[in-house]
């Protein structure tokens, strides 16, 4: 299958008063066309920053981004504008990401205006109505304003706006986190259906592990700006090798009566990403940590086929 | 039967404005025994939080209005109680953990002062003793007592939620109402907070009302479950009843729409349509416009609760007439 996106050793540092904040630190992966890569992690692990750096919403500090075989790490503003037709984003908060003073029709039509795709108003409206139909927005919402819609419909507007230019890659930054479960299921089904129809590639960023398992082909788990584990979606839920992934997956409360309690309770909280040292970043919270973990940073290694783990003692811990 | 600490009967709450009347809570009844915990589950706008505010006597009035029903706490009707007595109970015998720890703490008071404030109000301790108590409470929830002079912004989200729990538990309440206590937290931190709440429940025998939309969290700490839809309890039973023998089409739909991490399925089952607007609720069964089993009889009249077993109640026309 054709590769659509590859990032190599991507880094993004922010300068703060207290020092350098390592938001994304040496992330590499590749995504194939019409697949979904799920990026999971807790608040502050750099998953949103990663998505934004790929879209040039933040400029990267180092590394390379290759999109459709072309190095887009350094692009001019004009090139970027062209690129954005193929790379779109769906934001987390459907309440904050729509302009309250524009009608739904205008919001969805805006990308068309920016790219001057359908010069005549009638054609533009027709295209907008078509797209609204695709995402399941009723005709009558065309002239309504965002505050008149509920969360699920607003998120459909966000999806319509992202899809109207027929992008190839869509970065979905927590698209269902603000929605109720019954609505969440509707939106997830819609996104998967659209993916099949239009060969979309998704970078699906979320903290919700059950959602990510449902929608992704591959999953990478991030901790403090780094990838700690990467594998196929079913593989990672069947075998977690990194101690952090183990804890993360065991912490999901199961909606079942008398679910077996094998929860691993982690000590403490995510440590600061400012001025990190050359060590395993998870070591302070890890039950298996040894002195070596605090001195040397582990490398991402392939433990079994297409299953990568960043841990010094992965073989010992898992008896591999 | 053990003594019941709280009995809510036919509670009805409305928000009345010039434009519309929102029927937020329609006929909610449940009871809670000492040391027991109940989960109120439902989606946004189902009336879960309004129910809790109703019990606490905190429904903003106007526009809120408690139209009917009673809330018996240790045999006394809270709805009839003068404000002065209510204030003694609030924070003392009944306390509440609010959803958003970031906005429910006072940013210009240290967390120690905020815990001590409750203690001073409800007991005859001196300021020094109250401060000591505050430090003790912080230790209880896993925060070093030495941090009691820190301000809320110096804590992370999970720690702020623990401070909220410390405030709520400072006077060893008989009843704790927790409104989405872990929704704003990451899963690993959520696991820590739930573990803490479960331990405290065992240690102090506190009764708990947990309001949440997360069926996984309920399975972890509740004994009983009430599924709320459009201001009504549409199914009520023990944890086992609801999780292994669910009857109401909405409850079934709610469970089915969750992605299951143990099984693979291509498509999620969805409940068609949207939660009804509480300012114009449908007649008859409130769920009938979205229900795959709806019949003519569901569209009119009042849907009365039907008992499935001694502990299990469901509000659905399909179970009328006893054939369950």
B20 and B132 in a single domain? The answer is no
Q: Residues of B with CB below 8 A from A256's CB?
A: 219, 243
Which residue among B115, B147, B170 closes a domain?
Answer: B170
- The whole-number pLDDT of residue B112 equals 93
Confidence grade of residue B266 (pLDDT, cut at 50, 70, 90)? low
- Asked if the structure places residue A132 within a domain, the reply is no
Per-residue pLDDT of A281-304, as tens digits, reads 999 989 999 999 999 999 999 999
CB within 8 Å: A252 and B220: no
Q: Which CA distances in Å does B21 have to B43, B93, B232, B283? A: 20, 33, 16, 15
B115 lies in which domain range?
107-170
* CATH code for position A229: 3.40.50.300
For residues B225 and B113, membership in a common domain is answered with no
Q: In this structure, are B89 and B214 located in the same domain?
A: yes
Q: Is residue A184 part of a domain?
A: yes
Contact B56, B211 (CB under 8 A): no
Which candidate from B156, B219, B270 shows the least CB-CB separation from A185? B270
- Do B213 and B281 lie in one domain? The reply is yes
Alpha-carbon distance A187 to B245, whole Å?
Answer: 28
Q: Does residue A103 sit within a domain?
A: no
Residues of A whose CB is below 8 A from B275: 180, 182
Burial class (CB in 10 A: 0-12, 13-18, 19+), A253: buried
Q: Which domain holds residue A179?
A: 3-86+167-253+261-318
> Which chain B residue is nearest to residue A246, measuring alpha carbons?
B188
Please report the pLDDT score of residue A253 as a whole number. 85
Chain B residue closest in CA terms to A285: B188
Q: Determine which of A255, A258, A285 to mutate to test the interface with B (most B C-beta atoms within 10 Å).
A: A255
- With a cut of 70, say whether residue B322 has pLDDT above it: no
Cα A251 from Cα B20, distance rounded (Å): 43
Give me the mean pLDDT over the B127-139 stretch: 91
How does residue A242 score in pLDDT terms, banded at 50, 70 and 90? very high
- Residue contact A253–B158, C-beta within 8 A: no
**Average pLDDT of the residues in B43-50:** 85
Q: Are residues B12 and B57 in the same domain?
A: yes
Round the CA-based radius of gyration of chain A to a whole number and report it: 21
For residue A186, being part of any structural domain is answered with yes
pLDDT at A205 (0 to 100) = 94
Contact B43 A181 (CB under 8 A): yes
Number of domains within chain A: 1
CA distances from B265 to A43, A175, A299, B258, B259 (A): 28, 20, 34, 11, 8
Per-chain mean pLDDT for chain A: 90
- Decide the pairing of beta strands A62-67 and A3-16: antiparallel
Q: Which of B259, B278, B291 to mutate to test the interface with A (most CBs of A within 10 A)?
A: B259
What confidence score (pLDDT) does residue B318 get?
Answer: 82
Q: What is the mean pLDDT of residues A217-226?
A: 94
> What integer pLDDT is reported at residue B2 of this predicted model?
59
- Is A265 within 8 Å of B189 when comparing Cβ atoms? no
Q: Which of A242, A253, A263 to mutate to test the interface with B (most CBs of B within 10 A)?
A: A253
Any residues with CB less than 8 A from the CB of A123 and at least 6 apart, and which?
A: none
Tokens 């907070």 found at: B193
Pull the structure tokens for residue A123: 């054609």
E strands, A167-217, are: 169-173, 201-206
Chain B residue numbers with beta carbons less than 8 Å from the beta carbon of A184 are 257
Same domain, B124 and B58: no
> Chain A neighbours among B 237-276 (CB < 8 Å)?
239-240, 243-244, 253-255, 257-261, 264, 266-271, 274-275
Q: Would the CB atoms of B187 and A42 count as touching at under 8 Å?
A: yes
Tell me, yes or no, whether B63 and B82 share the same domain: yes
Residue A208 pLDDT exceeds 70: yes
Helix/strand/coil percent split, chain A, to 5: 35, 25, 40
Q: Does residue B147 sit at the A interface (CB-CB below 8 Å)?
A: no
For the cut 50, the answer to whether the pLDDT of residue B1 exceeds it is: no
Domain assignment present for A143: no
Q: What is the pLDDT of residues A77-136, one digit of tens each?
A: 999 999 999 999 998 888 889 999 999 999 999 999 999 988 889 999 999 999 999 898
DSSP H or E stretch at residue A212: helix A209-215
Report how many Cβ contacts below 8 Å link chain A to chain B: 111
What confidence category does residue A259 fall into, taking pLDDT thresholds of 50, 70 and 90? confident
Residues of A in contact with B216 (CB under 8 A): 252-255
pLDDT of residue A270: 76
Mean pLDDT of B216-230: 92
Determine the residue of chain B that is closest to A238 in CA distance. Answer: B262
Contact B44 A182 (CB under 8 A): no
CB contact residues (below 8 A), chain B span 13-52, against chain A: 43-44
Evaluate whether residue B125 is within a structural domain.
yes
Q: Which of B186, B243, B271 sits opposite A43 (nearest CB)?
A: B186
Q: Is the pLDDT of residue B241 over 70?
A: yes
Task: Write b or e for each residue in B293-317: b if 16 or more Cβ atoms lie within 10 A of its Cβ, otherwise e.
Answer: ebeeebeeeebebbebeeebbbbbb
Q: What is the mean pLDDT of residues B194-203?
A: 83
Cβ neighbour number for residue A239 with a 10 Å cutoff: 15
Interval B50-61 mean pLDDT:
88
Phi, psi of B27 (to 5 degrees): 60, 65
Boundary of a domain, candidates B170, B196, B213: B170
pLDDT score recorded for residue B324: 45
Sheet of strand A218-223, all strands in order from the earlier edge strand to the far edge: A87-90, A169-173, A201-206, A36-40, A218-223, A226-232, A307-310, A300-304
Taking the CA of residue B173 and the nearest CA in chain A, the distance in Å comes to 26
Interval B201-205 mean pLDDT: 84
Distance from CA of B319 to the nearest CA of A (A): 23
| C-alpha distance from A75 to closest chain B C-alpha (Å) | 36
Question: In which band, very low, low, confident or very high, does the pLDDT at A16 lie, cut at 50, 70 and 90?
Answer: confident
Query: Do A269 and B189 count as a contact with CB atoms less than 8 A apart?
Result: yes
Of B189, B217, B254, the CB nearest to A182: B254
Q: Evaluate whether residue A191 is within a structural domain.
A: yes
pLDDT value at position B280?
82
Q: Which residues contact B72 (CB under 8 A, 6 or more apart)?
A: B6, B7, B8, B9, B78
Query: Considering the domain boundaries, does residue B98 fall inside one?
Result: no
> Is the CB of B213 less than 8 angstroms away from the CB of A42?
no
Task: Please check whether residues B153 and B224 belong to one and the same domain.
Answer: no
Domain closes at, from B170, B195, B221:
B170
Q: Quick one: closest CA in A to B238, which residue?
A: A257
Q: Answer yes or no: do B138 and B260 share one domain.
A: no
Residues B164 and B202 grouped into a single domain: no
Q: Do B43 and A255 touch (CB under 8 A)?
A: no
- Into how many domains does chain B fold? 2
In a domain, B101, yes or no: no
- Is B61 in the same domain as B207? yes
Q: What is the pTM of this model?
A: 0.84
Residue A175 has pLDDT above 60, yes or no: yes
ipTM above 0.85, yes or no: no
Q: Which residues contact A64 (CB under 8 A, 6 or more apart)?
A: A6, A7, A8, A9, A10, A71, A73
> Which pLDDT score, from 0 to 100, does residue A235 have?
92
- Taking the C-alpha atoms of residue B213 and residue B254, their distance in angstroms, rounded to an integer, is 10
Q: Is B263 left (phi over 0), alpha (psi -120 to 50) or beta?
A: beta
Decide if B187 and A263 are in contact by the 8 Å CB cutoff. Answer: no
- Structural domain includes residue B54: yes
> CB-based burial of residue A70 (10 Å sphere; 0-12 exposed, 13-18 middle, 19+ buried)?
exposed
The backbone region for A134, taken as left when phi is positive above 0, alpha when psi lies in -120 to 50, beta otherwise, is: alpha
CA-based torsion, B290, A183, A209, A163: positive or negative? positive
Question: Which chain A residues touch B44 with a CB distance below 8 Å?
Answer: 151, 180
Same domain, B314 and B235: yes
* Residue B48 within a domain: yes
């Amino acid at each position: 299958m054709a590769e659509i996106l590859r990032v190599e050793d991507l880094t993004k540092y922010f300068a703060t008063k207290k020092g350098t904040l390592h938001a994304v630190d040496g992330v590499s992966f590749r995504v194939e066309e019409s697949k979904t890569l799920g990026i999971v992690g807790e608040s502050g692990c750099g998953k949103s920053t990663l998505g934004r750096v790929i879209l040039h919403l933040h400029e990267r500090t180092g590394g390379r981004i290759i999109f459709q075989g072309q190095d887009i790490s350094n692009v001019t503003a004009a090139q970027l504008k062209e690129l954005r037709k193929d790379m779109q984003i769906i934001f987390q908060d459907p309440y904050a990401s729509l302009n309250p003073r524009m009608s739904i029709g205008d919001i969805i039509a805006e990308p068309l205006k920016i790219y001057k795709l359908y010069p005549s108003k009638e054609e533009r409206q027709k295209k907008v109505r078509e797209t609204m139909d695709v995402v399941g927005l009723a005709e009558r919402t065309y002239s309504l304003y965002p505050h008149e819609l509920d969360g699920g419909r607003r998120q459909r507007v966000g999806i319509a706006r992202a899809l109207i230019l027929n992008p190839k890659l869509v970065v979905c930054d927590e698209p269902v986190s603000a929605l109720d479960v019954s609505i969440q299921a509707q939106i997830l089904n819609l996104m998967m259906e659209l993916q099949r129809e239009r060969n979309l590639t998704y970078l699906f960023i979320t903290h919700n592990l059950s959602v990510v398992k449902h929608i992704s082909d591959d999953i990478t788990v991030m901790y403090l700006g780094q990838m700690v584990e990467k594998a196929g979606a079913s593989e990672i839920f069947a075998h977690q090798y990194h101690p952090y992934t183990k804890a993360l997956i065991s912490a999901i409360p199961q909606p079942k009566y008398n679910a077996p309690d094998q929860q691993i309770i982690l000590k403490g909280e995510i440590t600061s990403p400012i001025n990190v040292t050359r060590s395993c970043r998870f070591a302070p919270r890890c039950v298996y940590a040894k002195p070596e973990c605090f001195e040397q940073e582990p490398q991402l290694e392939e433990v079994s086929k297409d299953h990568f783990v960043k841990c010094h003692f992965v073989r010992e811990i898992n008896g591999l | 039967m053990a003594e019941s600490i709280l009995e809510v009967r036919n509670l009805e709450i409305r928000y009345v404005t010039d434009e519309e009347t929102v029927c937020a809570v329609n006929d909610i009844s449940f009871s809670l025994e000492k040391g027991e915990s109940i989960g109120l589950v439902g989606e946004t706008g189902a009336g879960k939080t309004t129910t809790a505010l109703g019990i606490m006597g905190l429904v903003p009035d106007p526009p809120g209005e408690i139209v009917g029903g009673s809330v018996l706490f240790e045999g006394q009707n809270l709805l009839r109680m003068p404000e002065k007595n209510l204030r003694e109970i609030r924070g003392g015998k009944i306390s509440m953990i609010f959803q958003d720890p970031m906005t429910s703490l006072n940013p210009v008071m240290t967390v120690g002062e905020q815990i001590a404030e409750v203690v001073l109000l409800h007991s005859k301790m001196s300021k020094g003793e109250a401060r000591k108590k505050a430090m003790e409470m912080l230790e209880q929830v896993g925060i070093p007592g030495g941090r009691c002079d820190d301000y809320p912004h110096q804590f992370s989200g999970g720690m702020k939620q623990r401070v909220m729990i410390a405030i709520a538990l400072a006077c060893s309440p008989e009843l704790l109402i927790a409104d989405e206590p872990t929704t704003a937290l990451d899963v690993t931190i959520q696991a820590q907070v739930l573990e803490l709440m479960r331990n405290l429940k065992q240690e102090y025998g506190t009764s708990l009302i947990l309001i949440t939309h997360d069926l996984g969290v309920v399975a972890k700490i509740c004994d009983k479950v009430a599924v709320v839809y459009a201001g009504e309890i549409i199914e009520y039973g023990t944890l086992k009843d609801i999780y292994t023998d669910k009857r109401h089409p909405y409850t079934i739909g709610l469970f089915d729409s969750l992605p299951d991490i143990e099984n693979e399925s291509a498509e999620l089952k969805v409940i068609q349509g949207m939660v009804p607007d509480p300012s114009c609720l449908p007649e008859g069964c409130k769920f009938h416009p979205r229900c795959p089993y709806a019949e003519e009889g569901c569209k009119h009249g009042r849907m009365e609760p039907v008992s499935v077993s001694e502990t299990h109640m469901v509000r659905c026309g399909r179970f009328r007439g006893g054939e369950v």
